[in-house]
Copies of this chain bind each other. A is one copy, B any other.
């Protein structure tokens, strides 16, 4: 199969699964260093999987987001909510229009290289909290990308109606080594185990019936 796509790869569970799921079509994986608490640990994981699969990995620096954007995810571990992954707790972790920014950069790079698609691992569990993960957004964004490029670049987001548990089950079948993925919004050496994203991660492994390979703080 032709390598016709660029993947947005954070190094978390979802996008790492998509990397393995679509590896034959991915010409290049893009990670973004935007100054979040857990950015460097995520990118290290992203790099590990790209190396394993022989896929080019590019890290795009977006340091201005930490300087100018408002989000608890950019303000240190002490500001991350430590309860359930629900609407009110997680709203503070939204990084405004982050997916729009990452998709636009990936789209420009795809156009530069004559590629046809950008892939992203947004999933059903994120829709209620993150407006830039919802199907209304991804559909309009794909149309903007198509209209705004000579190549007619479009978005492929195969997990948009799946849960994080579904995604972990897909990855398990593909043999993805999830010990080299990072989710914790606090960004410590070990996953904290108590922030909302750690809870969501644990739940995904439980629902998928997998042993959780993560070394949690608590």
Contacts and interface: CB of A to CB of B under 8 A. Distances in A.
A145 B97 CA distance: 8
A150 B131 contact: yes
Candidate in A71, A109, A148 with the most chain B CB atoms within 10 angstroms: A148
A104 to B, nearest CB: 4
A156 interface: no
Interface string A98-132: 11110111011101110000000000000000011
B112 A131 contact: no
A97 B111 contact: yes
Contacts of A153: 97
B147 A96 contact: no
Main secondary structure of the interface of A (DSSP, over half): helix
Q: Size band of the A side of the interface? A: 35 or more
A65 B144 CA distance: 20
Candidate in A60, A100, A141 with the most chain B CB atoms within 10 angstroms: A100
A141 B61 CA distance: 23
A126 to B, nearest CB: 12
Contact of A147 (B65, B111, B140): B140
3 interchain residue pairs of minimum CB distance: A96-B111, A97-B108, A132-B148
Contacts of A96: 107-109, 111-112, 149
A134 interface: yes
Given A131-B149, A134-B147, A148-B100, A108 B69 contact: yes
Interface string A60-79: 11011100111100000000
Nearest to A151: B96
A70 B98 CA distance: 24
